[in-house]
Structure 1
Amino acid sequence: MAASLPALAQQYSPDSSRVIGLNEVVVSANRVLERKADIPQQIDVLTARQIRLQNPGTMADALLNTGWVFVQKSQLGGGSPVLRGFEANKVLLVVDGVRLNNAIYRGGHLQNILSVDANSLERVEILNGAGAVIYGSDALGGVISLLTKSPRLADTAGTGPRVHTTNLLRYATAAREKTAHTDFSLGGQRWASFTSLTATDFDDLRKGRKGLAEFPGFGEVRQYVERQHGQDVVVSHDEPNRQKFTGYRQLDVVQKVLFQPRAGQRHLLNLQLSTTSVVPRFDRLQTYRNGALRYAEWSYGPQRRLLASYQLELTQTGGFYDRLRLTPAVQAVEESRLVRDFGKDRRNENTEKVRVLSTNLDLFKDVGRHELRYGAELTHNRVRSIGEGVSVTTGAVQPIATRYPTGSTYATAGAYLAHRWEITDRLILSDGLRYSRVRTEAAFDPRFFETAYTAVRQSSPSLDGNLGLVAMLPAGLRLSGLVATGFRNPNVDDISKTFEQINGTLIIPNPGLQPERVVNYELELSETVEDRLLISVLGFYTNLRDALVVRPFATPDGKGTVVFNGTEYATVATVNTGRARIQGVSARTQLALPAHLRLDGTLTYTRGRDLTADVPLDHISPLYGRAALTYQHRKLLAEGSVLFNGRKRASEYSPSGEDNLLQATPGGTLGWSTLNLRTSYQLSRGWAVQAGLENILDTNYRVFASGISAPGRNLFVAVRLER
């Protein structure tokens, strides 16, 4: 019988030094707690203890440091996860069972993962490969399921309330980062509360100084624009390794209240707020045109995410379910772009406000050797898009073109049935089906941009399934295979966006898009010796049909250029390509060694190609991985690690522009590696000190497709108090 989701924190608290193995429990595959060994799909798990040792500045850094996930960045306040060659709106983000992907998640690079505070998390589960049966649209590359800490009731009657608090102060040198975190939980017999608050302040990021001898000066900031006495002035930078205009601030709040009036009934209120200051877009601020800096301003305005959800969980014996979970939720998301050309008086301010209503119903039933998971999901997105031109001298405001048609809607509905059959103690069959329907509506405003389209209404059905088999072989061997389909319906961003790309082209609307679909095949062989060894090798092959990619695109009158905001651009658009292919291999290993040591390793290699156009597919990361040696004994925990990426030659870049070749060296992205050391020492029962040195050799490198150089040598120190 599967355990309940809120019981996760109580049932699973792994020792950081031991080999986890396949008996680990996960919840993301079928929205219920179950053994990892029973699931044919590859799932990686990042626990609160691992996050604690990492001491990451952001959630993007936490994913990057695992070596399981490739992460792209265009600015310090960024981080776009890539799973199996899929990125942005092709990877589904889920927080506490509520999907974050909304109507304006774009296909390029996203920073929305930063709106989740790593310090508030109990665990992260990374579901690799198509996950449409349980999650519907967008889960082409996989699902990143983020589970925040939950309130816990008092253990037994008469013992008084359960009280626990965690406090953290952290400083890191590369971005002069200052972080303060506190959380507090209070649990009684029927009521419990959990509160988390994290404030972070980043200064401008310093890149590495050493390496790239063949490209001297790569990544250095020699000039920047400053407003002086009402004029834009180009200023020489006296710290070229300090990436000017990358700093920002962030505040994250989580509040949960649990009420359990009796056994078998739980009510959970979940409130989350994430907000930032203005986040400068570093790569744009370092864009040159005709030998001069183009922009005086290019920033994301304050980014806000507000989530409120209620979860009802019922358990019973008999009837048509053993466990029922109902999760209605509302989200209010706001983001903006503030752009002003050098020497110009007008700042273009585009603001998008998205309201998302959703409801998930999940039911679970065990019948002998059969486990049934079934349910439904409804979502409704409404987009309000605002465009204003603001004079920086007079403050006068005038309307300008909006990024999206205002009042656009995006709605989804789906129902699923998943089944697991334990045929024998060594053979498990998994299968599932989901029917989905997605509707997109948008009305175009002809005032600012000439278009033959007045409105678009699209409704697309999809039937998806999976079939997997797990075989427990002798001597600890395990063989699993899976075939799964997935889809992603074009959203408001795909169909109706108007936006200038960094390569000087203009993305224009294309209302004729169709859903992109995948069929994913994977085969994994693993060996487990409990508490001593885990090693697995997995191969995957994904066929894409009607993949959405950016390509040159003529306007309705047949022209390949258009004048927009007073500038002429070559036009491109998101289009469906005929066929594409992604294939690769990934490996994981954990080995327990004598003297309280453990060795971890991970490696991923991916290749992708647009078969119709016969060009490289975008978002395909180079070889990447991580190796780490961990020591844990008594009060000391220490880890030495190597994080590495292979080379991506310029000839292997996609022509779409999404891979940001202009931000790489003339030879493309060079291979790199960093040496890192992290330690934690428990001074007493409540107090702990942590320190680490990342990128010890101060290597100068830039991650593939990124527009900002990675941090140089970074010393961090932290103090924790738990009671």
Structure 2
Amino acid sequence: MKKTIPFVVASLFGFEEVAAQNIRPDTLRVIGLSEVVVSANRVRERRADVPQQIDVLRAAQIRLQNPMTTADALLNTGQVFVQKSQFGGGSPVIRGFEANKILLVVDGVRMNNAIYRAGHLQNILSTDANVLDRVEVLSGAGSVLYGTDALGGVISLLTKNPLLADSTTGTGPRVRTSNLVRYGTAAREKTAHTDLSLGWQKFGSLTSITASDFDDLRKGRRDYKSFPGFGENLRYVERQDGKDVVVPNDNVNIQRQSGYRQLAVLQKFLYRPSARQQHTLNVQYSTTSDVPRYDRLQEYRNGALRFAEWNYGPEKRFFASYQFQYSRPTLLFDMVRLTPAVQKVNESRLSRPFGRDTRDENLEEVKIGSVNLDLFKQIGRHELRYGAEAAHNKVESIGRNVNIVTGQTKGIATRYPNGSTYATTGVYASHNWEITPQLILSDGLRFSTVRLKANFNPEFFKSSLLNSDQKSASLNGNLGLVWMLPAGFRVSGLLSTGFRNPNLDDVSKTFEQNNGTLIVPNPDLKPEQIFYREAEVSQTIEGRLHVAVTGFYSTLTDAIVVRPYTAPDGSTTTVYNNQTFVTVANTNASKARVYGFSGRLNAALLDHWSAQASATYTNGRVLTTDVPLDHIPPVYGRGAITYQSRRLTAEASVLFNGRKGVADYSPSGEDNLIQNTPVGALGWQTFNLRTTFQVTREWSVQSGLENILDQSYRPFASGINAAGRNFYLTVRFEH
């Protein structure tokens, strides 16, 4: 463990940038446990010292994958399941937990906000895959270090930093640029990216811009024999001469009204006046066009298409953080890092039934202010990490009905109570003890508080529960042990508790589900609690082989699930937007459990060849009612063989999902059974080939063929078929 200290110091002040100059930029893998990770304890440390499973996706791997989005980058690893309700989506699932039960962190700042919903989220798309330096996926409860929302795990997104000039050369500014243009056939994708790093000895700047244009997605042509034509887009709605018209699709494999556009911009400034301190200003902005909600646009009622429009309006995310790092051995710390940040997120839902001239628009704006304080101290064989975090959310919610012909507007029910606030605070301490070089003990504690205030508008909600003022506190802990055995064997175990406080979306959302029910507010929700266990056995031959099997078991109490809801006046239906609905609501089920296992293999075969494989099985059930838990994917995984030489890198891979039958679906409707076949989600596999050829030092060409057999399939819980055969071509210029 003592070897981690140089890594910690280097990471704090960017010294790893100098060391990285001697590493090939296209090096794909670290085979073994010597790799350094950040997400486990908020500072860099050896992966071998961490008792919890962490999967790392590095820039070189993202570069070879050439993903359209960050969600696709995670999907292509085979270690994270991803759900999509529309093409412009991507909701990661970790060990049976999804959406607001997974914490997204970008450059050390939490992305999760007060309106992250429990269903499916596409917010991870707002981080550009082309500017990522690495992604770390921490599986299992992470509340001790990260607080609320980290029930299922943490996805830490780390973007590139400016590269400073080598102080020993004194040769002026260091200039680095990376540029690409990419075209893909399945969605006629057109992507352009450029980034420029300018670095002097003490000051550096990094500017990155990525723009993408995705046409309607084409599904595979090769249908399942038992369900021919499943997922075909037979007809869609167009507005012609001021009227809605149903148009036959001239190519049923093109999923009409699924395309969208996206823009992402990043600007970083780095100032390092001395070896002891560093200042980083980090500004990010992303936006989209309207993103069609494909599953809704293909929803039928009484044999006819129901909606003429159903779009997510432009999702805009503004992010700005300042990070101060200082290193000097003192009585209280060897290192301190302070990260204040602000974020503003705008999103909306725009829907108009077929034949109507009025569109319902629900618009949300969330403003978030946060601050993180992290400290590190080494005392002999003991490492202490401790700190504090605070975040405050304010939500503005607008509901309006707009006549698209006359422009007249009137108020309608807002999705959330307007002017609501949601605040979290926490203090934590994490400790590692190297009892012997072969035995490492980890432990930690966190105390958290959460407060939510929401006032319902009596004009739209005829209820006696018009005000919600929730307060809660939670004390969480973990205990882990790593035991290094002879011949490269390693055994680790972890016990951890965690919590997730109901946010504004849980407590007060009003939303019509695909199954025809209406989710209504329930201000009486309590926090979810989890007791998480994990055990892993692995063997490592450094640089040659790493194989691991991990088992996990989670027990949830007061788990929040959607269930039929009876109002205080005894009614089970309500009128919403002039329609009568059966009401459901988020409620606290008494108890649920999730368990499963995963296996991973990474092996160097010959001088230029390596192999990788992974598989994950998960099972979840609400024990109180003895029904399946939602968000539990079927078995999934990946296998790949990679060839890498000085100029050429090639990878052949297979991605696969098992089958999930109707009896294993949750009755909540969250898993979108109505969007799949009558027997549930069918199993599938795709075969893929990716290559990179370095033409010159600066120029490279990448090509790939994904879903080679052109299989038509729809992943579990998704509302759109995945891409059919996709050929892409990328040209890169890097200097």
Q: Shorter-chain-normalised TM-score: which range?
A: over 0.9
Q: Does the CA contact (< 8 Å) of 2:18 and 2:166 recur in 1? A: no
Which residue is equivalent to 1:554?
566
Which residue is equivalent to 1:605?
617
Pairwise mapping of residues 32-51 of structure 1 onto structure 2 (< 5 A)? 32-51=43-62
TM-superposed CA distance for 1:317, in Å, is 2.1
Do residues 21 (structure 1) and 25 (structure 2) align? Answer: no
TM-superposed CA distance for 1:229, in Å, is 1.0
Pairwise mapping of residues 213-228 of structure 1 onto structure 2 (< 5 A)? 213-228=225-240
Which residue is equivalent to 2:393?
381
* Runs of at least 5 residues in structure 2 that lack an aligned partner in the other structure: none
Do residues 148 (structure 1) and 159 (structure 2) align? Answer: yes
Picking from 185, 203, 215, the partner of 2:197 is: 185
Amino acid at match of 1:133: V
Task: Decide whether aligned partners of structure 1 residues 432 and 393 sit closer, same or farther in structure 2, where only a CA change above 3 A counts.
Answer: same
Q: 1:546 aligns to what SS in structure 2?
A: strand
Task: Tell me the distance in 2 between the aligned counterparts of 1:74 and 1:617.
Answer: 19
TM-superposed CA distance for 1:451, in Å, is 1.8
Amino acid at match of 2:398: I
Do residues 61 (structure 1) and 72 (structure 2) align? Answer: yes
Q: 2:48 aligns to what SS in structure 1?
A: helix
Q: Does the CA contact (< 8 Å) of 1:125 and 1:145 recur in 2? A: yes
Task: Tell me the distance in 2 between the aligned counterparts of 1:489 and 1:500.
Answer: 23
Picking from 491, 502, 505, the partner of 2:514 is: 502
Which residue is equivalent to 1:286?
298
Q: 1:556 aligns to what SS in structure 2?
A: coil
Task: Tell me the distance in 2 between the aligned counterparts of 1:486 and 1:31.
Answer: 17
TM-superposed CA distance for 1:20, in Å, is 2.3
Q: Does the CA contact (< 8 Å) of 1:408 and 1:441 recur in 2? A: yes
Task: Tell me the distance in 1 between the aligned counterparts of 2:507 and 2:219.
Answer: 38
Do residues 106 (structure 1) and 99 (structure 2) align? Answer: no
Q: Does the CA contact (< 8 Å) of 1:337 and 1:351 recur in 2? A: yes
Q: CA RMSD in A?
A: 1.0
Task: Decide whether aligned partners of structure 1 residues 18 and 409 sit closer, same or farther in structure 2, where only a CA change above 3 A counts.
Answer: closer
Picking from 464, 467, 470, the partner of 1:452 is: 464
Picking from 308, 325, 340, the partner of 1:328 is: 340
Which residue is equivalent to 1:115?
126
Amino acid at match of 2:41: N
Task: Decide whether aligned partners of structure 1 residues 101 and 651 sit closer, same or farther in structure 2, where only a CA change above 3 A counts.
Answer: same
Do residues 337 (structure 1) and 331 (structure 2) align? Answer: no
Which residue is equivalent to 1:406?
418
Q: Does the CA contact (< 8 Å) of 1:468 and 1:481 recur in 2? A: yes
Do residues 526 (structure 1) and 543 (structure 2) align? Answer: no
TM-superposed CA distance for 1:200, in Å, is 0.3
Picking from 97, 102, 105, the partner of 1:94 is: 105
Task: Tell me the distance in 2 between the aligned counterparts of 1:243 and 1:483.
Answer: 46
Could you give the per-residue CA deviations for residues 537-572 of structure 1, whole angstroms, max 9, x where no partner exists? 000000000000001001221111000010000000
Picking from 246, 256, 260, the partner of 1:248 is: 260
Task: Tell me the distance in 2 between the aligned counterparts of 1:421 and 1:676.
Answer: 44
Do residues 628 (structure 1) and 640 (structure 2) align? Answer: yes
Amino acid at match of 1:308: A
Task: Tell me the distance in 1 between the aligned counterparts of 2:523 and 2:30.
Answer: 51
Q: Does the CA contact (< 8 Å) of 1:178 and 1:201 recur in 2? A: yes
Task: Tell me the distance in 2 between the aligned counterparts of 1:474 and 1:165.
Answer: 45
Task: Tell me the distance in 1 between the aligned counterparts of 2:499 and 2:624.
Answer: 19
Q: Does the CA contact (< 8 Å) of 1:487 and 1:517 recur in 2? A: yes
Pairwise mapping of residues 432-581 of structure 1 onto structure 2 (< 5 A)? 432-581=444-593
TM-superposed CA distance for 1:10, in Å, is 4.6
Task: Decide whether aligned partners of structure 1 residues 55 and 18 sit closer, same or farther in structure 2, where only a CA change above 3 A counts.
Answer: closer
Q: Does the CA contact (< 8 Å) of 1:589 and 1:601 recur in 2? A: yes
Amino acid at match of 1:710: A
Amino acid at match of 1:477: F
Q: 2:60 aligns to what SS in structure 1?
A: helix
Q: Does the CA contact (< 8 Å) of 2:28 and 2:61 recur in 1? A: no
Task: Decide whether aligned partners of structure 1 residues 28 and 17 sit closer, same or farther in structure 2, where only a CA change above 3 A counts.
Answer: closer
Pairwise mapping of residues 163-312 of structure 1 onto structure 2 (< 5 A)? 163-312=175-324
Same amino acid, percent of matched pairs: 64
Q: Does the CA contact (< 8 Å) of 1:577 and 1:612 recur in 2? A: yes
Which residue is equivalent to 2:82?
71
Task: Tell me the distance in 2 between the aligned counterparts of 1:81 and 1:500.
Answer: 23
Say which is worse superposed, 297-306 or 318-327, in terms of deviation: 318-327
Task: Tell me the distance in 2 between the aligned counterparts of 1:54 and 1:249.
Answer: 21
Which residue is equivalent to 1:426?
438
Instruction: Name the count of aligned residue pairs.
Output: 723
Question: Which 4+ residue blocks in structure 1 deviate beyond 3 angstroms?
Answer: 5-19
Picking from 122, 136, 160, the partner of 1:125 is: 136
TM-superposed CA distance for 1:594, in Å, is 1.5
Could you give the per-residue CA deviations for residues 276-300 of structure 1, whole angstroms, max 9, x where no partner exists? 0000000000000111000010000
Task: Tell me the distance in 2 between the aligned counterparts of 1:469 and 1:67.
Answer: 27
Amino acid at match of 2:489: L
Which residue is equivalent to 2:673?
661
Picking from 684, 696, 699, the partner of 1:672 is: 684
TM-superposed CA distance for 1:595, in Å, is 4.5
* Runs of at least 5 residues in structure 1 that lack an aligned partner in the other structure: none
Q: Does the CA contact (< 8 Å) of 1:17 and 1:598 recur in 2? A: no
Do residues 696 (structure 1) and 708 (structure 2) align? Answer: yes
Q: 1:461 aligns to what SS in structure 2?
A: strand
Task: Tell me the distance in 1 between the aligned counterparts of 2:450 and 2:406.
Answer: 45
Q: Does the CA contact (< 8 Å) of 2:232 and 2:252 recur in 1? A: yes
Task: Tell me the distance in 2 between the aligned counterparts of 1:300 and 1:707.
Answer: 15
Picking from 657, 660, 683, the partner of 1:648 is: 660
Q: Does the CA contact (< 8 Å) of 1:18 and 1:532 recur in 2? A: no
Task: Decide whether aligned partners of structure 1 residues 17 and 146 sit closer, same or farther in structure 2, where only a CA change above 3 A counts.
Answer: closer
TM-superposed CA distance for 1:7, in Å, is 4.2
Task: Tell me the distance in 2 between the aligned counterparts of 1:504 and 1:28.
Answer: 41
Task: Tell me the distance in 2 between the aligned counterparts of 1:667 and 1:468.
Answer: 42
Task: Tell me the distance in 2 between the aligned counterparts of 1:47 and 1:502.
Answer: 37
Picking from 36, 42, 62, the partner of 1:31 is: 42
